[in-house]
Chain A
Amino acid sequence: MLKSIRIFLIISFLSFAFTACNSLKIPGKKVENKIENYEITPFSTTEENIFQAEIIAFERTLKGNLAVKNYAENHQRLALVSSLGNTLLDMEIKDHKVEIKYIIDDLDKNIIRYKLKKYFGLLMNSNYKIKKTHQTSEGKILRSKFQGKPIFLYLDSAEKLYKIRQASRFKEKVKIQIKENNQVIFQSKELPIQMEFK
C-alpha cells in the first residue's frame, strides 16, 4: 500500500514538474538578427501628450487622463488624473529609474507602488536592444530584455509593432497591445489590472 502511494506521489510530482516548467516558446524560425534597436513611440510623439485613460483594477473602473511630458529620450514625467480632476499618481522616469513624486493615499501601498513603477516604466520605455529575431507566418518577433525579464516585440508583415509581451522564463507577465489609432491596451497577467490609453 505504502509503495503504491510512493509511486503515485513520484508520478504526480514528475507530471507537475514537466507541465509547470514548460518554458515559454517563441513561435517561428530563428533568423539572422538585422534589427539592432527598435524604437516605439506611442507615448513620445510630441513633447507633451494627454491621453484619455480607462483603468480597470480589481473589478473597479476608473476614467481619466494620462499626461506625459517627454524631456529627453530616457526622461519623462507622467501623471494619472481622474475625470473629476484629482491627481492619482505623478512619477518621473529617468534612465529607467522611476521615482514617485505623488501618489493618492488610497493607492499608497508598497505592492501597488512597486507594480505601478514597473508597469509605467515598461509603458514609457521607447528603445529596445534586439538580441534575437524570429520569423513567423504573420511577421517578426523581436526578442529583447527589460527590467531583467525577456521582452517580445511582435511586428506584422509591414514590420509595424502591434504587441509587446514581457515574460519570466515560464510565464507571461504583461501584454501590451498597440492598435491602429495609437490606442494602447496594457494588461497585467499577474494582477487583475487593465489600462487603456488613447
Chain B
Amino acid sequence: MKTYLFLILNFIFVGVFAQEKKLSTAEIEEFKTFVEEEIENIQTIDTEFKQEKHLSFLTSKIESKGKMFVNKQGFLKWEYLTPEKYSIIFKENYIFINDNGKKSEVNSNQEIFKELSDLISGSVSGKLLNNPKFDISYFQKEEFTLVKLKPIQKSLQKYIKQVELYFPENDASVDKVKLIEASKDYTIINFIHKKINVEIDSHIFDY
C-alpha cells in the first residue's frame, strides 16, 4: 500500500514539476527586454557542446561532442571532435567544410544556408527571439524559460518542425536546444563550459 502511495505521489510531483506553464504577456515582455539588453553585450561565444540524436525506434542515442565559436563579425564555427573530426565554418557568403583534413567549400548565397547559420548562432545567443520567420511562444519549465519557435516558411518547415530554446535564469544565452524535425525525431544539444565575450583567435575561422 505504501509503495502504491509513493508511486502515485511521485507521479503527481514529477507531473507537476515537468509541466510547462505559459508565460503571461507581462512576463514575456520582461523576458524579451532582458534578453534584448543582454544580447547587445554579447560579442563572442566560445562553448563546448554535447549532441544527442534521438530516433523514435531506437533506445540508444547517437552522441557526438564538439566546440562552437561565434566572433564579432558573426563568423560561426561548429566543430565536432568525437566520434570523428568534422567542422563547418559559416563565414561571409561561404560554408567551409573540413572533414578530417578533406576540405571543401560551398557558396552559401542560397537563403537556406543563411537561415541555417542564423539558426545555429541565434539559438545560442537568443537572437532568434526577434526573428520574424518563426511563430514564437514562451513557457516556464523547471528552472528554465522555454522558448518554442515554429518556422513559418515552408522551406524551413521541410527540415525543422520546432526549435526549443532553454534559457537558464538570468542568462540571455541558452543552455540547451532541442530541434524537432519533420520526421518527429529530435536532437538535443547541451552547451557546457560556455564562455561569453572571451577573445577568440581569428585563426579559428581559417579554412
Contact = CB atoms under 8 A, between A and B. Distances in A.
Contact of A85 (B51, B58, B60, B182): B51
A104 B181 CA distance: 10
Contacts of A84: 78, 88
B58 A48 contact: yes
Nearest to A49: B60
Interface string A78-115: 01010111110010000000000110110000000000
A65 B88 CA distance: 17
Nearest to B189: A85
Contacts of A126: none
Interface string B60-95: 101010000000000000101001101010000000
A84 B120 CA distance: 11
Interface in B79-119: 80, 83-84, 86, 88, 99, 102, 104
A81 B62 contact: yes
B84 A67 contact: no
A104 B60 contact: no
B187 A52 contact: no
- Contact size range, A: 20 to 34
Nearest to A77: B57
Interface of B, secondary structure class, is: strand
Contacts of A102: 182-183
A175 interface: no
A79 B55 contact: yes
A81 B185 CA distance: 10
A45 to B, nearest CB: 14
A53 to B, nearest CB: 11
A81 B83 contact: no
A61 interface: yes
A87 B185 contact: yes
Interface in A37-83: 48, 50, 52, 61, 63, 65, 67, 69, 77, 79, 81, 83
Contacts of B179: 85-86
B59 interface: yes
A85 B86 contact: no
A87 B55 CA distance: 8
24 contacts: A48-B58, A50-B60, A50-B62, A52-B83, A61-B102, A63-B84, A65-B62, A67-B58, A77-B57, A79-B55, A81-B53, A81-B55, A81-B62, A83-B64, A83-B84, A84-B88, A85-B51, A85-B53, A85-B62, A86-B159, A86-B181, A86-B187, A87-B185, A104-B158
Interface of A: 48, 50, 52, 61, 63, 65, 67, 69, 77, 79, 81, 83-87, 90, 101-102, 104-105
Given A48-B58, A79-B185, A83-B64, 5 more contacts: A50-B60, A63-B84, A67-B55, A90-B57, A101-B183
Q: Give the 8 A-B CB pairs with smallest separation, nearest first.
A: A85-B187, A102-B183, A105-B158, A87-B183, A87-B185, A77-B57, A85-B53, A65-B62
